[in-house]
Amino acid sequence: MTAVKMKIKKGDNVIVTTGANKGAKGEVLKVDIEKSKVLVQGVNMRVHHSKPTQTSPGGIERKEAYLHVSNVSLIDPKKDKATRIGYKTLENGTKVRYAKASGETLD
């Protein structure tokens, strides 16, 4: 499977567009470029059973699972809705991301 160009970065606020968690919003915690997946805070929660060790008591933990990048979309800062991402170059020569719905820069 080929890696998709990742327009979503760590720290972005995203909304889930498809799947069981559709409509859930959260912040991106991790980005896996090779697998084209993102880890979103509080979304796609899974139950993990761990044995007790010397450092942790063990038990049942709830953890986030990865989502494919095609199932999430960036939240527009102005409209608070899903938007696509584009790139443009400013007058000073820096390349920035912008929300296509409102035209506001993200970086």
Domain count, the chain: 2
Together in a domain, 28 and 51: yes
Burial of 1 (0-12, 13-18, 19+ CB in 10 A): exposed
- DSSP calls for 43-68: SSEEEEEE---SS---EEEEEE--EE
Q: Is residue 1 part of a domain?
A: no
pLDDT, residue 107, reads 74
> Domain range spanning residue 58?
7-75
pLDDT, residue 4, reads 73
Together in a domain, 64 and 105: no
Together in a domain, 63 and 97: no
Residue 5 CB partners (closer than 8 Å, separation 6+): none
pLDDT, residue 1, reads 61
Together in a domain, 84 and 50: no
Record the pTM.
0.85
Q: Is residue 2 part of a domain?
A: no
Together in a domain, 82 and 59: no
**Residue ranges, the chain, pLDDT below 70:** 1-2
Q: Is residue 12 part of a domain?
A: yes
The two three-digit tokens of residue 61, written as one number: 């933990």
Together in a domain, 68 and 36: yes
pLDDT, residue 35, reads 92
